Amino acid sequence: MIAADTNTWIAFFQGSPGHDTDLLDRVLEDRQVVMVPVVLAELLSDPNLSPAVAETLTAVPMMEIEAGYWERAGILRSKVIAKGRKVRLGDALIAQSCIDGEVLLLTRDHDFRGFASAARLDVVFRS
């Protein structure tokens, strides 16, 4: 299974080229994509989001948030901060969801490198 970060979903719907959007297209076709709750919230926050895109996004199976998630996300974020890396809370929540679900994350945000080095997060960046 694979999850996509907010920036990859946006690029995908805009038709932007990249390894991440190509892979997202393939795994959507194969029904191998799961939605990270935080990513869905970020995407649905766009007041200009079309109803058709919102319907597509909400149809993607949602990842479950497991017991202890918030604590693990906070600890993960502290590990990355301790290494002197830039860490947004939303990114920590996305990373922890992917770690918990043992899914690959597609992203264009290189800040996720900090999570990959601090934990067992598998990431594919745009290339």
Sign of the alpha-carbon dihedral angle for 24, 26, 29, 34: negative
Mean pLDDT of the chain: 92
> What is the pTM assigned to this prediction?
0.91
What confidence score (pLDDT) does residue 119 get?
73
Whole-number Å distance between alpha carbons of 26 and 104 = 14
Q: 3 with 36: CB under 8 angstroms?
A: yes
pLDDT digits (tens, 9 = 90+) for 38-96: 999 999 999 999 999 999 999 999 999 999 999 999 999 999 999 898 899 999 999 99
What CATH number is associated with residue 84? 3.40.50.1010
What confidence score (pLDDT) does residue 59 get?
96
What confidence score (pLDDT) does residue 78 get?
94
Tell me how crowded residue 17 is: count the other CB atoms within 10 A of its CB: 9
In the chain, how many domains are there?
1
Structural domain boundaries, residue 64: 2-125
More confident residue, 100 or 127: 100
